Amino acid sequence: TQLLEQSPQFLSIQEGENLTVYCNSSSVFSSLQWYRQEPGEGPVLLVTVVTGGEVKKLKRLTFQFGDARKDSSLHITAAQPGDTGLYLCAGATGGSYIPTFGRGTSLIVHP
């Protein structure tokens, strides 16, 4: 059983479209992170959220941490081909600071 469930598993869209991907759990996280992984590379950290209800923006990417700190979403506005990749959420629970990863959402943005 995955601690973190990500949806959708796959997403194929056209350039310029908006999209939202979700990360859900029944566990409460002390912090939650989003990573992007490109083929042949390791995951790269995009953002860390720690406070329930927190919203962070990174250019066209908006990250939200749920009020109860059990879920998170990533919204991309006007997606570009360069956004293509595997988006992973990772959460740390209790006193552990070692992230547990979801299986990711594979995004393809077509020009």
Partner 1 sequence: DSGVTQTPKHLITATGQRVTLRCSPRSGDLSVYWYQQSLDQGLQFLIQYYNGEERAKGNILERFSAQQFPDLHSELNLSSLELGDSALYFCASSGPHGGREKLFFGSGTQLSVL
- Residues making contact with partner 1 (CB under 8 A): 2, 31, 33, 40-45, 48, 88, 90, 92, 96-104
Per-residue H/E/C for the chain: CCCCEEECCEEEEECCCCEEEEEECCCCCCEEEEEEECCCCCCEEEEEECCCCCEEEECCEEEEECCCCCEEEEEECCCCHHHCEEEEEEEECCCCCCCEECCCEEEEEEC
CB of residue 2 vs partner 1: minimum separation in angstroms?
7
CB of residue 15 vs partner 1: minimum separation in angstroms?
27
Residue 39 or 111 with smaller CB distance to partner 1: 39
Residue 79 or 102 with smaller CB distance to partner 1: 102
CB of residue 45 vs partner 1: minimum separation in angstroms?
6
Residue 78 or 108 with smaller CB distance to partner 1: 108
